[in-house]
Copies of this chain bind each other. A is one copy, B any other.
């Protein structure tokens, strides 16, 4: 182990090194063993479903600047008036249920990292979309392509993140019309986990598909999902041309589309839990129905991003109880509909990885996992309401993702798990530290955090009286230093680079 991070003594560094590699059961995704937590009765869920149908029928959804989308929906039975599309009761649901898969495999460049999205599975992906990055030493600054690559590498190196994500941060040092090429290349080259494509322009979505065809083969893409991309509704009740165009591009290539109403309740929806859930369902149903019409059978994921507002400032707030309840409700609605569900993440409004950040993140990640979310975008790194991607926050959150791997296993009721022999052979007052059963199980008995400090006060003080975020710094630095890129066929890499160079050259130089 290198000693260059040695702000601290060898004791801590050695322990951290040991823990960093004490990974239990690396798996490509989590399969939960417990039934999801429900907070509403069947009648309550039916009521929300019925209200969503009433919205779709009486108010409808605007499909803006998208005449082709409206034509498709009209042909399928919707009423179209200008940009507004109204769905007869049950139509959107029928369109989704008729052809959308309940669960699907997103194939990774390394097949061992392919993920199953849906059912009892949970997939963790890093945070998405931040213009800023932050680390303890460098502070807050605009993200660059180097930061982007760093987070791709960190997600690749973490045993507890299953997915490379998408816009892990905005590389604002690159031209807007070209940066998607470097982003997709980074996912394909510096990781071999599954990834997300560009959605900022339909042409960028098609570029993403082209790059994937180079890596996976065009024929393979016809039969397999290798890209999952995030299309947000423009709530309330609007799908706009950019997102519809990106969704269409992916659907035409039969690549998965994640349709997410993005709602700060009180601003983009009614302020109540049931109101926010009703609107989310209506918007998502309309979007998913459209995707099924573009190409039936295209994998879709019902997304829900819902949070609360500060009454003082109108700023978004996170980790509060009301969005947790929306999450549980939406997860149940997705299960009833029969499509995979995306929500949650390590959300916080805090600017730094402090106690607020951890309380808020955990208050969302608990319902995320217990509610049965299938695809967890923003599982690691999120700060400042999504404006900032944090290096230390990433390490802290990834540790939490590790804990969910252990929790998901549930209670071992094997003979060894019951430990009845140990209980019968160990008398009152005798400790278990040296018992054969303990020795046989100790190594794997408890999740071991690489970043928590469990030492005595005196030892902790002697080692610098660090807070958690400070202990995360050497961890991400070491992960980047020890990073080794996954292998890639040299000809494929060459073809990727050439395709990207040609594409970049097609833009005028001034187009920054």
Contact = CB atoms under 8 A, between A and B. Distances in A.
A277 B482 CA distance: 41
B325 A429 contact: no
A224 interface: no
A344 to B, nearest CB: 13
A432 B268 contact: yes
A411 B445 CA distance: 38
A278 B418 contact: yes
B315 A275 contact: no
B358 A362 contact: yes
A140 interface: yes
Interface in A404-462: 404, 406-407, 410-413, 416-420, 422-424, 426-433, 435, 437-438, 441-443, 445-449, 451-457, 460-461
Most buried by B among A48, A321, A411, A468: A411
A442 B311 contact: yes
Contacts of A468: 350, 354-357, 359
Contact of A452 (B314, B356, B448): B356
Q: Which of A315, A387, A388, A428 has the most CB of B within 10 A?
A: A428
Given A438-B270, A445-B322, A448-B311, A428 B351 contact: no
A176 interface: no
A405 B462 CA distance: 40
Interface stretch (A93-101, A207-215, A234-242, A490-498): A234-242
Contacts of A443: 311
A321 B407 contact: yes
Contact of A320 (B273, B325, B449): B449
A431 B416 CA distance: 58
Contact of A278 (B55, B406, B420): B420
19 contacts: A34-B38, A44-B411, A236-B427, A236-B431, A266-B432, A271-B441, A275-B419, A275-B422, A278-B418, A308-B445, A311-B442, A349-B454, A350-B452, A351-B460, A352-B465, A355-B358, A362-B363, A370-B370, A388-B457
